[in-house]
């Protein structure tokens, strides 16, 4: 993938997350600034997703740890665990929101 494709894909993904959070029944505040999306939960914890253009990765920091996602076989995959991005995000949000969250079905 070239740099232009990377930026388009990651920008679209961040916008998709914002739209899903708007529809989510769980109270999650978010702020988008450039290539960083910060989600803040009622309990004060945060999840931060940001673009890493030099590496063409997405990085996600949760209360528990950080993960780096590479685009492989048409999906973002955690380079450490092999978990797909959306599955990981739903699980991370559910833990930090202390509620069952499935963004793609909100």
Q: Could you list the residue range(s) of the whole structural domain that residue 30 is in?
A: 3-97
Chain centroid offset of residue 92 CA: 9
pTM more than 0.85: yes
Contact 49, 60 (CB under 8 A): yes
Looking at residue 49, its pLDDT comes to: 98
How much is the average pLDDT of 24-40?
Answer: 94
Contact 69, 57 (CB under 8 A): yes
Residue 104 is assigned to a structural domain of this protein: no
Looking at residue 98, its pLDDT comes to: 93
Residue 86 is assigned to a structural domain of this protein: yes
Looking at residue 105, its pLDDT comes to: 64
Residue 44 is assigned to a structural domain of this protein: yes
Residue 67 is assigned to a structural domain of this protein: yes
Which DSSP letter does residue 74 get? T
Looking at residue 104, its pLDDT comes to: 76
Contact 20, 106 (CB under 8 A): yes
Residue 103 is assigned to a structural domain of this protein: no
Looking at residue 44, its pLDDT comes to: 95
Distance CA 63, CA 43 (A): 11
Number of domains comprising the chain: 1
Residue 35 is assigned to a structural domain of this protein: yes
- Percentage of residues in the chain having pLDDT higher than 90: 92
Distance CA 23, CA 77 (A): 25
Distance CA 92, CA 62 (A): 7
Looking at every residue in the chain, the average pLDDT score rounds to 94
Instruction: Find the CATH number of the domain harbouring 41.
Output: 3.30.920.10
Give per-residue pLDDT as tens, 55-97: 999 999 999 999 999 999 999 999 999 999 999 999 999 999 9
Residue 106 is assigned to a structural domain of this protein: no
């Amino acid at each position: 993938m070239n740099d232009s494709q990377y930026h388009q894909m990651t920008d679209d993904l961040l916008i998709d997350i914002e739209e899903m959070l708007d529809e989510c029944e769980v109270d999650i505040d978010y702020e988008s600034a450039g290539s960083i999306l910060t989600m803040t939960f009622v309990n004060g914890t945060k999840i931060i997703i940001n673009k890493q253009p030099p590496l063409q990765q997405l990085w996600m920091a949760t209360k528990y740890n950080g993960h780096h996602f590479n685009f492989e076989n048409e999906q973002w995959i955690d380079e450490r665990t092999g978990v797909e991005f959306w599955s990981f995000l739903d699980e991370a949000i559910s833990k930090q929101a202390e509620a069952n969250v499935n963004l793609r079905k909100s």
